[in-house]
Structure 1
Amino acid sequence: MMTIKKVSLIGLGALGILFGNQLSKKIPSADLRIIADRTRIQSYQDEGVYCNGELCHFQYMTPEEVCEPADLLIIAVKFNGLNEAIQSVKHHVGKKTLIISLLNGITSEEIIGEAYGIEKVLYCVAQGMDAVKVGNRLTYDHMGMLCFGEKEPVLNSEKVNRLADFFEKMEIPYETDPDMGKRLWGKFMLNVGVNQTVAVFESDYGEVQQDGPARSMMISAMREVIALSSREGVKLTENDLDYWLRVLGTLSPDGKPSMAQDVEARRFSEVDLFSGTVVELGKKYGIPTPVNQELFERIKQLESQYTGIKI
């Protein structure tokens, strides 16, 4: 079996810093390449990138630099940066490169697959981390884990075994799942509920870990995803809802999901990826999605105040 030695990573958001920092402690610095444009690299070098107060030691490369392809490429940008990232990583993708996406939503793997071949891509979900990023500084209590597998049920896939072996050596918590289509939709359901509700209530995980209006709204938004999932060939159930609520229960009550951090910092969020997708699918299948419609409107209203433009 091929082994993973050279790793390239694009996107130093919360997950990029968290897993990039862990990898940097385990492999030679020349074997971990962080891909970024010159302006970003300058900012990272001037200000430093910190993980739990510790300076990260990263080697940076611009997209233009030609290099040996990566054995593993990790894409950890926000969804609105995905198309640019796909262009930026072209020198890092070779015949044997394995690609994982840490993006939210249910479409990034297909988009990457269209560019580089779906046979290079493993489906992946990051879950259980409570990372908070302010500027170039990340803090977290729980690293969570990366859950990955083939989209279609396959036993003992060579790609899955290769990545599992690598994460074992890197001491990155992981789980393999033979039904990643369902896992992806489950994480999407959690994000639709948690990310948007905490952003609208301008609160934290603690607010939705206890009974009250925020938790009720979150669960109602998640149930709208369950109603849509069977039409998309994925049958989420109340058992899946309970599983993801248990995952939510493990997070630090003071932590915040990425969308709440975006709203707080007056950055545009991934609302189109969450309630935007749910509302569109609701229209497609004639299934009402009133809670996600409300969340969509309320988040767009919050964002309209950044520039004074009415949405």
Structure 2
Amino acid sequence: MKVCIFGAGAVGGHAAARLIAAGRAEVSVVARGAHLDAIRDTGLTLHADGETLGGKPHAATDDPASLPPQDLVVVTLKAHSLPTVASQLKALLKPGAAVLFFTNGVPWWWNHGLSEDGSLALLDPEGRLWRDLGPDCVLGGVVYSANAVTEPGVITHTAGNRWIIGEPTGDISPRADAAAEVFREAGLVGEVSPDIRRAMWQKLVLNIAANPLCALSRLPLGRWHEVPGIGELGVTLIREMLDVARALGWDLTEEVDPVAAVPARPGRPGGKPSMLQDAEAGRPMEVEAIVGQLQAFGRENEIPTPAIDGVLPLLRALDAAVSRPPVKV
């Protein structure tokens, strides 16, 4: 099987390193900058669970057009980056091949299999993904895996190794099974879900409070107990998310305790979620996928979301400030 990891950063690099080490697939990676240079020179190195593994991929490039057609393309880019690569992804696919998206929050392809409404406007503003790639080739993905690029070409894995894969239509398909199997052969705990949207909601419970509030406060999760009220605000955000999910047909209220999900107590572990990492690095944040689309769903279904309504404009302002600084005249 020819597998391309499109965006071999922290999460994608973890997957790529294990796939390369397993030797069951012909692995190509799309990366950039010093990270790409290091992969070309010495390969990808993964430090995980006390072992070191990885190796050189079949090809490493910043030009996807230089790669042959692939059986599976695994995309680990942030949600806001996806529209610009829609046509590149399409060109990489063999007939019948799939693009497996591991993204946080609500995915751009949400309506596929549910309605004829096309892309979500906040996540695919010009409809490029729906038009130039098309939802029929999509596999949805949810990943639980904490990783960091600790130096160019080197990934350090700290927690989690669960990779959930599913068809947006709810089918159990040969291509989803094949993707999960190649992951499992590489030591990645791949599983196929008949309801990938439910898996998305379950992970969003972890993200809807932690990501925006850590980014806005610049506090890692492990320091929330120092600030009275931030934990309560996190609980409210989770409750509003659960209200929106229930209105759309996914009721998680029996399985989720919003208070227990918020780490605002001494001794609770907690590092820096991706939004805080992005804010500190001056990178765009996944504001719309994690928060903005929830507000949009709430308004479409007449579900009040006052906490989300208050946090979202501040988050959008922070995103503009850190990733689009004013031009000096």
Q: Same fold (TM over 0.5)?
A: yes
Q: TM-score range by the shorter chain?
A: 0.7 to 0.9
Letter aligned with residue 145 of structure 1: R
Q: Determine if contact 1:194/1:208 at 8 Å carries over to the other structure.
A: no
Of residues 204, 207, 213 in structure 2, which corresponds to 1:197?
Answer: 213
The alpha carbon displacement at 1:254 in A equals 4.9
**Residue 117 of structure 2 corresponds to residue 122 of structure 1:** no
Match of 2:15 in 1: 19
Equivalent residue number for residue 157 of structure 2: 140
Counterpart position of 1:57: 56
Q: Give the corresponding residue for 2:277.
A: 261
Structure 1, unpaired ranges of 5+ = none
- Tell me the distance in 2 between the aligned counterparts of 1:292 and 1:173: 33
Shift of residue 147 of structure 1? 1.0
Summarize the Cα distance change of 1:184–1:243 in structure 2 as closer, same or farther, 3 Å threshold.
Answer: farther
SS of corresponding position for 2:12: helix
Instruction: State percent identity of aligned pairs.
Output: 22
Spell out the pairing of 1:1-311 with structure 2 (5 A cutoff): 5-27=1-23, 31-36=26-31, 40=32, 44-45=36-37, 51-52=46-47, 57-58=56-57, 59-61=59-61, 62-65=63-66, 67=68, 69-109=69-109, 110=112, 115-127=132-144, 129-133=145-149, 136=152, 138-154=155-171, 157-207=173-223, 213-241=229-257, 245=261, 253-306=269-322, 307=325
Contact 1:8 1:72 in 2 (8 A): yes
Q: Secondary structure at the match of 1:71?
A: strand
Give structure 2 stretches of 5+ with no counterpart.
113-118, 120-128
Shift of 1:253: 2.8
1:34-90 alpha-carbon deviations (Å, 9 max, x no partner): 135xxx2566206976544978634213123251x2111101111121012222223
Alpha-carbon distance in structure 2 between the residues aligned to 1:213 and 1:207? 12
Output the TM-score relative to the length of structure 1: 0.80
What's the offset of the Cα at 1:173?
1.2
Q: How far apart are residue 14 of structure 1 and its match?
A: 2.2
How many residues in Structure 1 have an aligned counterpart in Structure 2? Answer: 296
Structure with the higher helix share, 1 or 2: 1
TM-score (norm 2): 0.76
Instruction: Tell me if the contact between 1:130 and 1:256 (Cα under 8 Å) persists in the aligned partners.
Output: no
Residues 1:212 and 1:167: Cα distance change in structure 2 (over 3 Å): farther
CA offset digits 1:218-276 (Å, max 9, x no partner): 221111111112332333324145699399x9xx9353211110111122211122222
1:145 Cα offset (Å): 0.9
Q: What secondary structure, in the 3-state scheme, does the structure 2 residue paired with 1:144 have? A: strand
